[in-house]
Structure 1
Amino acid sequence: MLPEQFEEFARHMGRTVEGIRLEFINGKLGIKPVPDGDHGRIVQWLNRICIQARPELYLHDQGLRLQGYRGGHARPDGTLADADAFVGYGDWAPAGEVLMVAEVTSYDSDTDRRDRIEKPRAYAETGIPVYLLIDRDSAEVIVHSQPDGVRYETVQILPFGKTVHLPDPVGISLDTEPLKNWVR
């Protein structure tokens, strides 16, 4: 499937099947499950912290065109960028202005492959400075930074409850204690 074909397919499916989120990474079509309430609450928590710390930024729900094998498309749980970064774009925008992408693991069989293996590589290949993974399975926050075009050179793993510093260009600290309330 070509990237243009995926965009058309995703546009059509979004109108006909409610509650699915399609992605196309490493030449594979993926379907993200509908987020549960705790997942949504974590994204709200992160959005509030980002807005308070950096009011010029916004945690968007924006599909991104990624570089790399077969021109991937991902829909992160949060995309931190300037408030106007995606004005004029449709469902899929280039990732050039993105400072950070955030993912919250889901309780499904694909989360390991998708969030822990494929997405870090795709985001690093695209040059996104920071990838934040909130891993509800392990109750850890994983901060990937310093992309080298293939992978992230720095990976910091901290348990929920610790303060996590998101490196520049994000420059925000997160008190992750509340995350303990939103895991099974």
Structure 2
Amino acid sequence: MQRQGSGGSAAIRFRAVGVVLLLAHLALVAWLTLRPRDVLWVNAANLEPLAGIKADLALGPVQAARRIGEGLLLLAPLGILLPMAGGRLAVSPWASLVRTVGAGAMISLGIELLQTGVPGRVVDVDSLLLNTMGVALAHLLVVPAGRARLRRRRRTRSAPRPGKERGPLLREDVPQGPTPTIPRVGIAP
């Protein structure tokens, strides 16, 4: 059964690539964030929003940019890969943003909660905020423009060319005929 609004085999390949890249990225994130660290001491858990970012800014601009950049970039690819794995072209940009950022926040929260059981790792609410902001920024910078480009490409491919016959029929162009009906079956004797 074909999903409404899907573009056939190209859309299926696009979604499949999205799922594979999403799983590869999540495996990399798990490897980076859930490995035990061999350290002599560990900072206390940071449950005060923006306290860690303020402390990073106090270290100097280079160190702050590195630490804040790491937090923003860790889950940023999810802002692109989650909609890609979903494979929808005709969707509200705001609904897509809310869905993607919500999923990114839940994944970040899951990572933070799993880190409580890993030696050398502690919970940091600022990483949750930075990871979620990275997902939102990546989504806003790439997804709406990418979807618009794919919709334009789809329209130009399916539109008839002047002076030429229409190209190959798309699945939604082929008449399907009436829906088959199944006759009622009576109760067996």
Larger of the two Rg values belongs to structure? 2
Q: Which TM-score tier does this pair reach, normalised by the shorter chain?
A: under 0.3
More helix by share: 2
Scaled by the length of structure 1, what TM-score is found? 0.23
More strand by share: 1
Scaled by the length of structure 2, what TM-score is found? 0.23
Q: Which has the higher contact order (CA 8 A, sep 6+)?
A: 2
